[in-house]
Amino acid sequence: MPGTQQGIATLADTDKLNHDFVTCPFCGLHCDDLSVASNGGKLTVTKNGCEKAKAGFEHDVPSAVPQIGGKDATLPEAIAEAAARLNQSRQPLIGGLGTDVEGMRAVLALADRAGGVVDHALSAAMSRNMGVLQTKGWFMSTLTETRNRADLLIIVGVDLAAEHPRFFERIASPAEAMFDGDADKRTVVLIGCGGNAKSGVKGGRIGDVIEIACQAEEIPPLLGALRAVLKDVPHTAPPPAGIPAATLTDLAGRMKAASYGVAVWAPHALTFADADLAVQMVSDIVRDMNKTTRFVGLSLSGNDGAQSAASVCSWQTGFPLRVSFASGAPDYDPYRHDVARMLKAGEGDLLVWISSFGPVPVAPPETDLPMIVIGSPNIKLARAPDVFIPVGTPGLDHGGRLVRCDSVVSLPLKRLRSTPLPRLTEVALNIEAALQRT
């Protein structure tokens, strides 16, 4: 990509600097107010960093060089070998997709040329959302609208303090909000969020914190019972998990009295069977509530560049993720083009795995297929891939952009340190160029 791209610094600039207004790439909130010090390639978060940010920016990156068959190689040699294997493949599977916007654009160009299938490591979670959107539609909020307007937050099935550590600081209980006063308090309701979730709900703007404890698989029937109470529909079955009927009646009253209620979930945290029913039920409740008041949903996806990958795929193909280019044109099918399913069914003949976010990059699934890994040097692999090309991390080793979890803005990433690692964008485009010459 051009060296004039926003956020890119020269190598000399990154030797010893203090960087302000840094965007964090390590969860879907992409907080953009961090301060990070760079000293000889060592990064230290000095302001506004959560546990995830500190772990991501401050972890040590081992030295690494490209490898072919477990043996060191030059970058041109590894690119040539990757291109040769893609040329030989009849059905390449391109998964992981842990990269930024520019990286995903390059990956799509490569997949188009190679006739591959593209699927993100978190696509199963995103597909639950997409299925609800496609079948019934929904009312959704943004981080900014929630920050400024919400008076009731219902959090479903996720410990936000663990998954998105600064959500309460920046969104639920900000220092300033546009439409309320300092004395106004926001009610937070936790439904099936786990035993430690309540301890993480902190902030001066937060008033009542109501915990409705249940097992993850009990969330859909509990939401169904809540919806019945909200609609004043008779139901003979008691609420699940021994929850008193009065608890749901009280919650329903709070929801009806709210001026801007927000139902919050994180798709990747809903890992129980039939988790799509929870998303569907949340969406139905939000739709019902909008008949008499303002109620919205807020999905906190976007970890490991998931929202960026999904957005770029939609921009460039017209479809969500799980797209195949085997026919010469983009073909969307959330079942057939599920890379995890395809690997189990033996439907591919080459896995290309992309994972450039640390400190623990998402590793490829176990497979006997030939494998090309393009990722961070500290990725943990069960076996040596046929081709390994180490690349830098967006927002640390090079500039770029990431789409925030609510899909409304893309945030610029800065280059914070000097590194010999190439950008995934350059690697993917060079592999594509090698394919075009053969």
From first to last of its 438 residues, the chain has per-residue pLDDT tens of 333 344 444 444 445 689 999 999 999 999 999 999 999 889 999 999 999 999 999 999 999 999 999 999 999 999 999 999 999 999 999 999 999 999 999 999 999 999 999 999 999 999 988 988 888 889 999 999 999 999 999 999 999 999 999 999 999 999 888 876 545 799 999 999 998 999 999 999 999 999 999 999 999 999 999 999 999 988 777 778 789 999 999 999 999 999 999 999 999 999 998 899 999 999 999 999 999 999 999 999 889 999 999 999 999 999 999 999 999 999 999 999 999 999 999 999 999 999 999 899 999 999 999 999 999 999 999 999 999 999 999 999 999 999 999 999 999 999 999 999 999 999 999 999 999 765
Q: Which pLDDT score is estimated for 235?
A: 76
The token duo for 69 is 């068959």
What CATH number has the domain spanning 61-122+304-392+399-437?
A: 3.40.50.740
- Say which CATH topology domain 126-300 has: Dimethylsulfoxide Reductase; domain 2 (3.40.228)
**Burial annotation 122-157 (CB, 10 A radius, 16+ → b, else e):** bbbbbbbbbebeeeeebebbbbebbbbbbbbbbbbb
Q: Give this prediction's pTM.
A: 0.92
CA separation for the pair 198, 228 (Å, rounded): 26
Q: Which pLDDT score is estimated for 9?
A: 45
Q: Which pLDDT score is estimated for 12?
A: 46
Max distance between CA atoms of the chain, in angstroms, equals 71
CA separation for the pair 343, 346 (Å, rounded): 5
Q: Which pLDDT score is estimated for 15?
A: 57
Domain ranges of the chain: 12-56, 61-122+304-392+399-437, 126-300
The token duo for 57 is 């920016």
Residues sharing a CB contact under 8 Å with residue 135, sequence separation 6 or more, in sequence order: none
